[in-house]
Amino acid sequence: VNVSFLQELFATIAEQGRQLLPRSLVRAQAERGDLSELVAALLSVRGEASGIAIARTILDRYRGFRAPERRRFLEYLAETLQPDPEVLARAARSYLDVPGQAALAALQRAVESPRQEFFRRLNSPPGATAEIVAMRRDLLDWVGEDPLLARVDADLMHLLSSWFNRGFLVLQRIDWQTPAAVLEKIIAYEAVHQIQGWNDLRRRLDPRDRRCFAFFHPSLIDEPLIFVEVALTSDIPDNIHSLLEEAPKGYVDGDAPRAAVFYSISNCQEGLRGISFGSFLIKRVVDDLLKEQPSLRTFATLSPLPGFAKWLRRALEGGEDEGPHLEAGERERLAHLGNLDPQPDPEHAAAIKTVVTRLAAHYLVVAKGADGRPVDPVARFHLGNGARLERINWPGDTSPKGMREALGVMVNYRYDVRDIEKNHEAFANTGAVATSRQVRALLKAELSLPETDVRRRLTSARPRRTETSE
Amino acid sequence: VNVSFLQELFATIAEQGRQLLPRSLVRAQAERGDLSELVAALLSVRGEASGIAIARTILDRYRGFRAPERRRFLEYLAETLQPDPEVLARAARSYLDVPGQAALAALQRAVESPRQEFFRRLNSPPGATAEIVAMRRDLLDWVGEDPLLARVDADLMHLLSSWFNRGFLVLQRIDWQTPAAVLEKIIAYEAVHQIQGWNDLRRRLDPRDRRCFAFFHPSLIDEPLIFVEVALTSDIPDNIHSLLEEAPKGYVDGDAPRAAVFYSISNCQEGLRGISFGSFLIKRVVDDLLKEQPSLRTFATLSPLPGFAKWLRRALEGGEDEGPHLEAGERERLAHLGNLDPQPDPEHAAAIKTVVTRLAAHYLVVAKGADGRPVDPVARFHLGNGARLERINWPGDTSPKGMREALGVMVNYRYDVRDIEKNHEAFANTGAVATSRQVRALLKAELSLPETDVRRRLTSARPRRTETSE
Amino acid sequence: VNVSFLQELFATIAEQGRQLLPRSLVRAQAERGDLSELVAALLSVRGEASGIAIARTILDRYRGFRAPERRRFLEYLAETLQPDPEVLARAARSYLDVPGQAALAALQRAVESPRQEFFRRLNSPPGATAEIVAMRRDLLDWVGEDPLLARVDADLMHLLSSWFNRGFLVLQRIDWQTPAAVLEKIIAYEAVHQIQGWNDLRRRLDPRDRRCFAFFHPSLIDEPLIFVEVALTSDIPDNIHSLLEEAPKGYVDGDAPRAAVFYSISNCQEGLRGISFGSFLIKRVVDDLLKEQPSLRTFATLSPLPGFAKWLRRALEGGEDEGPHLEAGERERLAHLGNLDPQPDPEHAAAIKTVVTRLAAHYLVVAKGADGRPVDPVARFHLGNGARLERINWPGDTSPKGMREALGVMVNYRYDVRDIEKNHEAFANTGAVATSRQVRALLKAELSLPETDVRRRLTSARPRRTETSE
Amino acid sequence: VNVSFLQELFATIAEQGRQLLPRSLVRAQAERGDLSELVAALLSVRGEASGIAIARTILDRYRGFRAPERRRFLEYLAETLQPDPEVLARAARSYLDVPGQAALAALQRAVESPRQEFFRRLNSPPGATAEIVAMRRDLLDWVGEDPLLARVDADLMHLLSSWFNRGFLVLQRIDWQTPAAVLEKIIAYEAVHQIQGWNDLRRRLDPRDRRCFAFFHPSLIDEPLIFVEVALTSDIPDNIHSLLEEAPKGYVDGDAPRAAVFYSISNCQEGLRGISFGSFLIKRVVDDLLKEQPSLRTFATLSPLPGFAKWLRRALEGGEDEGPHLEAGERERLAHLGNLDPQPDPEHAAAIKTVVTRLAAHYLVVAKGADGRPVDPVARFHLGNGARLERINWPGDTSPKGMREALGVMVNYRYDVRDIEKNHEAFANTGAVATSRQVRALLKAELSLPETDVRRRLTSARPRRTETSE
């Protein structure tokens, strides 16, 4: 595929994105903070040239605002850019009288908030998309405490979902050839296992046994939307420390990597919160890795368990009925976990491991939130994508964060292309969690209890040849 | 500006756009033409992988359809993917009862057609955007005679307007370095003055005195949305033939071009009809040309008058009251125009020129359609953009098409950056047509008539130094 | 591989190559045609800025010259830029006296022509390389009749061989995404089977079953050095007409191409005559094709036989001793070939085929030039590369050129990676021509003659499984 | 200029440069360290395929060698690949007998070392150029103590000068969009003012008031040849510390930068030592900066004085006759400089400044080396390029290195495009150093001495309007 023309073609985006329009065609309003006239002008203008200049001016003013002014502006949009209530009431009544196509179309027109047209026009100058995404990031800070702003958020979500439609995303490999301007974003945005500067980053991009991929949008220059870090290994790793520290492996033909391990997935754009790119990313990356490395047999994650400690604390407080069954002495052992010796004596460690992994299995498979889905957000994400709960590792992450949030546990979810659809559908329809034999063994005790509903929450993963090597 | 990373980044778009997904995850339906199950599946699916595969399958099936099947499919979408009438009626009633924010939001949700979500999901596989645009092109063939399809068209327009928001367009110079795959589209899409093969095209791209620019969208590979052809000249030309035939001018410092003439603007994507890119394109091109050629003083068009002959025929049939005033003998002279000698004797030519240019001035300035705007679509476009009617040329285009549609007349519209906003606003608010002194002179006779309303339709262009040289 | 930075990096080459230096720092010489002062200045200058400006001026002047002035300038270089004879004689004597390293180094310095330094400095401004190549193209027109110019040619060859070292060449696929500026060069430079305009070119670049690759040099913008056209087929084709005319094949998995046929190789730069790129190109293309199309089993050519008719005419005139053995009646049959019926009756055709292919085999395998190598230049090229003479086809090319030069014969040379080195060495050392069983069968009659030396000119290709299908 | 095709074109270089040939066609020699057979094979081979494979093998073996083996290999090349002494002697004699063109050509052929052809062939595989440059870097370590190796060096220099001809260099801006792989080279290669990690680098690339440009060669991937760091300022700075530390200036129209200061120039490729890129780079960067920033009026350097302290020490030891004239007490003051208080009291500082700057002026203008040129290498470079010695600053660089090498002095050289050629020629022909009035004032005392030859070493810079502001 010859892609050069396209590349040249998009070169101008960058230029657009980094230039401001040379001059404002719009006279300044007396009070800097009051953009009402400009908002009205943008919505009423019919000429292209002035429309772009007005939009540019609004965006510049907004960027110059401090937080209170920004909030006031967003509230102004929430209050004023509402559908005309009389027109809407009339349209609603007409529709109820004669619910035909014409009445429906009129009602559709009447009900759309003028904010949507406002934001569409605001998006016309070069670089505007990034600024609108930033505007929503501001909005999210206040929308919780200010229900008025929910109106603006609804309209922004509607537009951004359309603009950031998955058909427009571009997958890009991140490596040491990537511009520093993007790499420093990767360092900043890594949300799972912090990157300790440029040397750490270089290790994570080492072409010999690491991969990193990100999604970009044509209109957000230098800004990844989401990225995933992958390690090429021989086996599925059971802890993050050795993975991050191990020496680069220059795989050669005879000893090619067999597993691709997704050990960190980070969303980058706070302003796009609620628009999900993750599952799409994983699917694309699996495809790309398979093309590049035909030796790969296993795709799995090494994932945190961010809600485990919190859930367990509540479960233990709540008593036997709600929480997991605890054997004698286990409660005591758990109590010691907080000030766990980094290198506990083997016997102690084995005992802790037994109880912690069993409880983690319960947490992931049996415990459910009010919506009937797993409590853990990472589990919801991967199980919802069709992955199987493969293995529960302890100690997996003994960093302060790992101990605090998950008592040191890490989890492998496994993506087996033959089961993804089946797992996904079972999980979506019945909430059943696909588990490996190994995980089911952890739950054996609970499964033998007659009253448990554990059994129906489990999906028996079809036995496979490849499992024998596990 | 270093744009290389971005270029690399977008390289993958091309790959996406030219690949099909390797395998369908969806079983074929017994009857090829029936996509109803797939449509339902796409709307109900929650997994990314199957969603993309279903969308890909629908698009492939549609492309394999012949016209009647395609139409049947679009009608199916029109019939079935409607808002739920009961939910909508309930929401409408609730809103009328208590017109608060919650009721409004519920109504907004209830009124949106499920087709929009359907098309958003249909857009997820690589290359889908182009296929959805092609789907709308099909739709436009039938929507006139099939009001049901107007529902689908409304939803598609809503989405495509959002996706092809001007903030996402990319301006690209077209020249002899452009890939052949794009150039052959330019040949095919030129709609004003047909391009006679690759040699003619090369002349129109000659860097010495020609420019061509097009807008592209990141998701439509190799497909220009609209393009404009420009000639760099010393004066505003008064006919198309000498412009297309004249030898390339290698401008050097002492003799740099003073005028940029837009002599052809062509929309390329029938499926995006109704989404206007033209005014935005002209503005961007003027900016770019000024940066490249600081010697430029004048930006003007050499434009056709596509509706003139048709209007004149009707006006002459309609009698004195509605049409333009004709002096004695003029009606006869016009009758001869049809079989006009290509090189008429000078005297005859001068007489024809007098009457034809006067009538064209009337057609452009005085005559209005039912909506109070000029009858001519090209005039509406340029005057609406803020251009001034600068000069009426005869003979300007003596090709068969030029004679048939415009009796050989061509028009120069002039873009003067200092007047664009003023002209645009006057035209938008009062319908006033900005004219040069030269054009006003043609209308002097009519202006002297007491009952005419010509005067108020004219805007007196502020006199300028640069006009003295015209 | 992420190549974006490099791409950006080389972008400036293009700019360099298409710009002239803004102003000459050098005063014009009174007589336009006399560049002697500028030549002297370029050789004596020590400053970079003035050196580049002087070089630019010389190049511009040269380009403005007409043929006689150009020739005079080259002769001037031949006459004046000679090694200093006294210095050289002294160095030669010193070396003969004491042939140590110091004397050798001094002699090396003394013997180098100042023209080499002149051309190295001439190469400093942007775009100079292309102009120096063009200078050699001029030179080649006259060097035959003007031995003085051979001095200049020797120095240019020395430099150009170094600059166009194979390590600096870049392989590029040519397709419909390639800029028109390059494609029109492909049309112009095709030297074997003329390209009949852009539609014919598009067929030859059809990605479904055609490939085209060219070598470029970083300093020659838009200028291929050499290119090869390839057809992906199921079998080795035996004539050029069906190959050029057949409908594009969209190969799919089940029916992937098994053969890659090189049917045209054209050198593009007359000014680089004598610097060979062809064998290197074939090797690289074979590598690339194998990566792209793992189904390929056979790499072969469909080649012309440009010297056959001429050789045969002489051989027949020269009598039995020198030429091939002719059976009774064959001489007559050959006489008819000139005015051959395009569709001869089958019996007649079979008879002609028998004699013509046998004679062609003789021509290729037995007949040798004064240097002991095959007479045919195309045969020398492919056999020298290690190809095997695979098949002789008649009728293979019945175009006027094909009949005139080769009596309609075409040849397949086959590149079998396992034999390339062996064939190459045998050919290089003993002149032995690797042949297929099929070709050897044509020579059986000759081989049975006791006095023939045919046998030792043949290499018996190791039998292979894949040959059974031939 | 549309450069996309070129970019695509060169993309393959990167791929070439990072791949090894898949398999060696050459059998290993028993003793790893003995490459003699491979060398002989490379020189005798006629086939392309085997030639490339042999070259690849030699390069791989060499890279695997440790230092002693490498040296032995280079010595082997020095000993064996010599011109044939008999052939050469015969050719020398023939030339002396009849010194015609034929004899000259034969002598030219006979005298060329076979090493040149060896290295040309060694350069054929992808990535070879970088490895040959690395080979010369090795060579330079030993050539001083091993005169035999000088032969190899002479041949390598001859070839590398041709391959790295200035016409093939590509200027590239280095900024935060540059790939990390190149940026880490910039950090490593900075030789004047060490870069303290990625944050320091980012400051030096800040687009608001910094520029960095490098030359690249198409065949050296990711490897700058030389780069220059530039600060955009309002005035010529007089010390490096404030320059490196000052906050970024976002120049806007009203306050555009007036001076471009070259404060660091670093050669990167040790293996290309002796091939000068610096003057060419400065000229190109001045051109580029002027295009980008038309407000620039002054181009100057802030340069170290690396040989000053060493020269002064010797001069003071050598006594009055050779060294500069010292007033009473100055010798004592200088003695204190070594343990200079970082913030000396103003009076003390003023006294030191007087003597140090006067001595530095003497060092730069009056003192000459054995070759009659300035002692200081940086001075030789800039003065040789046509710069003027503009100002001597104390304290300019109080870093340990700056104190040790230059007693804290830094110098501004100024590039005035109107004087560059004049200064360059005067310096080249008579050794005259162009100086500003300010510098001449420092030498006034010496100039008044009757016997001095200072006067003729000075060039009086033509007075200019712009000087009034200095």
Segment D429-464, tens digit of pLDDT: 888 999 999 999 998 876 665 555 555 555 544 443
Task: Enumerate residues 6+ apart whose C-beta is below 8 A from B247.
Answer: none
Query: Most confidently modeled of A251-255, A313-317, D204-208, D352-356?
Result: D204-208
pLDDT bucket at C467, cuts 50 / 70 / 90: very low
- pLDDT tens string D149-192: 999 999 999 999 999 988 888 899 999 999 999 999 999 999 88
The amino acid that residue A210 corresponds to is R
**pLDDT value at residue B339:** 57
Residue C341 has pLDDT above 80, yes or no: no
Task: Establish if C5 touches chain B: CB-CB under 8 angstroms.
Answer: yes
> What band does D302 get if pLDDT is binned at 50, 70 and 90?
very high
pLDDT for the residue numbered C308: 94
Strands (E), B203-322: 210-216, 226-233, 259-267, 298-301
Q: A340: pLDDT confidence band, cut at 50, 70 and 90?
A: low
Query: What residue type is assigned to position D96 of the chain?
Result: L
Helix axis angle, D48-64 relative to D36-44, nearest 10°? 150
The average pLDDT across D218-240 equals: 93
- Cα separation, A437 vs A362, in Å, equals 14
Output the furthest CA–CA distance in chain B (Å, rounded).
79
pLDDT value, residue C2: 28
Residue-level length of chain D: 470
Contact B183 C180 (CB under 8 A): yes
Lowest mean pLDDT among A238-242, B16-20, D240-244: B16-20
Q: What pLDDT is attached to residue B22?
A: 28
What is the least distance, in Å, from the CA of B182 to any CA of chain D?
Answer: 13
- Please report the pLDDT score of residue D428 as a whole number: 83
Of B5, B95, B161, the CB nearest to A179: B5
Q: Which residue of B has its CA nearest to C3?
A: B8
Quick one: average pLDDT of A441-457?
Answer: 65
How confident is the model over A253-298, as pLDDT tens digits?
678 999 999 999 999 999 999 988 888 888 889 988 988 888 899 9
What are the backbone angles phi and psi of residue C17, rounded to the nearest 5°?
A: -70, -20
Predicted confidence (pLDDT) at residue D333 exceeds the cutoff of 80: no
**A384 with A431: CB under 8 angstroms?**
no
D contacts of A8 (beta carbons < 8 Å): 2-4, 7
Spatial contact of D111 and C104, defined as CB atoms under 8 Å apart: yes
- Could A101 and B2 be called an inter-chain contact, meaning their C-beta atoms sit closer than 8 Å? no
CB D419 within 8 A of CB D386: yes
Tokens of B292: 């490249």
Q: What is the mean pLDDT of residues D230-255?
A: 89
Confidence (pLDDT) at A103: 93
Q: Is the pLDDT at C26 greater than 80, yes or no?
A: no
For residue D461, the model assigns a pLDDT of 41
With contact defined as beta carbons under 8 Å apart, do A167 and A158 qualify?
no
Buried b (16+ CB within 10 A) or exposed e, D219-238: bbbbbbbbbbbbbbbeebbb
Within 274-333 of D, beta carbons closer than 8 Å to B belong to: none
Residue D191, classified by CB atoms within 10 Å of its CB into exposed (0-12), middle (13-18) or buried (19+), is exposed
pLDDT at D368 over 80: yes
How high is the pLDDT of residue B5?
39
pLDDT, one tens digit per residue, over D71-124 is 999 999 999 999 999 999 999 999 999 988 899 999 999 999 999 999 999 998
For all residues of chain A together, what is the average pLDDT? 83
- Listed in order, strand segments (DSSP E) in B114-216 are 170-173, 210-216
Residues 360-399, chain B: which have Cβ within 8 Å of A? Answer: 384-386
- Work out the average pLDDT over C380-396: 93
Lowest mean pLDDT among A424-433, C435-444, D150-159: A424-433
Question: Can you point out the beta strands (E) in C245-319?
Answer: 259-267, 298-301
Q: Under a CB-based contact definition with an 8 Å cutoff, are residues B5 and C4 in contact?
A: yes
CA distance B311 to chain D (A): 44
**pLDDT on residue D450:** 54
Contact residues, chain A, for C5 at CB < 8 Å: 177, 179
Which of B1, B3, B6, B8 to mutate to test binding with chain C, by most C CBs within 10 Å of its CB? Answer: B8
Of A317 and A355, the one with more pLDDT: A355
Contact B88, B114 (CB under 8 A): no
B417 near B285, Cβ under 8 Å?
Answer: no
Average of per-residue pLDDT across D32-52: 77
At B170 the three-state DSSP class reads strand
Q: Are C205 and C247 in contact (CB under 8 A)?
A: no
Q: Which residues contact D319 (CB under 8 A, 6 or more apart)?
A: none
Alpha-carbon separation of residue C51 from B163, C131, C261 (angstroms): 54, 17, 49
Identify all chain D residues contacting B175, using CB atoms and an 8 Å cutoff.
Answer: 2
> For residues D352 and C450, which has the higher predicted lDDT (pLDDT)?
D352
**Region C159-177 average pLDDT:** 91
Q: A38-88, pLDDT tens digit by residue? A: 898 888 876 566 788 889 999 999 999 999 999 999 999 999 999 999 999
Pairwise pLDDT comparison (B112 vs A332), residue with the higher score: B112
B4, B18, B175, B182: best mutation site toward chain C, by most C Cβ within 10 Å? B4
The answer to whether B177 contacts D7, with C-beta atoms less than 8 Å apart, is: no
User: Scanning every residue of chain B, which has its alpha carbon at the shortest distance from the alpha carbon of D173?
Assistant: B2
Let me know: does D192 contact D266? Beta carbons within 8 Å: yes
Taking the Cβ of residue C86 and every Cβ of chain D, the question of whether any pair is shorter than 8 Å is answered with no
Nearest CA in chain C to B6: C4
pLDDT at site A324: 73
The mean per-residue pLDDT over the stretch D118-136 comes to 93
pLDDT band, very low/low/confident/very high, at C425 (cuts 50, 70, 90): confident
Per-residue pLDDT of chain B (470 residues; tens, 9 = 90+): 223 333 333 333 333 332 322 233 334 443 456 788 889 888 887 656 678 888 999 999 999 999 999 999 999 999 999 999 999 999 999 999 998 889 999 999 999 999 999 999 999 888 899 999 999 999 999 999 998 999 999 999 999 999 998 888 889 999 999 999 999 999 999 988 999 999 999 999 999 999 999 999 988 888 999 999 999 999 999 999 999 988 888 887 678 999 999 999 999 999 999 988 888 888 889 988 988 888 899 999 999 999 999 998 888 876 655 567 676 677 777 766 655 555 667 777 888 888 899 999 999 998 888 888 899 999 999 998 889 999 999 999 999 899 999 999 999 999 988 888 788 888 888 889 999 999 999 988 766 655 555 555 555 444 433 332 32
> Nearest CA of chain D to the CA of A293: how many Å?
16
Question: In this predicted structure, what is the pLDDT of residue D320?
Answer: 53
What is the sign, positive or negative, of the torsion defined by CA atoms of C21, C23, C29, C33? Answer: positive
ipTM: 0.80
How far, in Å, CA of A298 to CA of D130, rounded? 38
- Could you give phi then psi for residue B149, rounded to 5 degrees? -70, -15
- What confidence tier does A360 reach under pLDDT thresholds 50, 70, 90? very high
End-to-end CA distance of chain B: 40
Contact B5 D177 (CB under 8 A): yes
Cross-chain CB nearest to D123 (options C9, C165, C178)? C165
Least confident of A281-285, C361-365, D19-23: D19-23
Chain C closest CA to D354's CA: distance in Å? 34
Mean pLDDT in residue range C317-334: 68
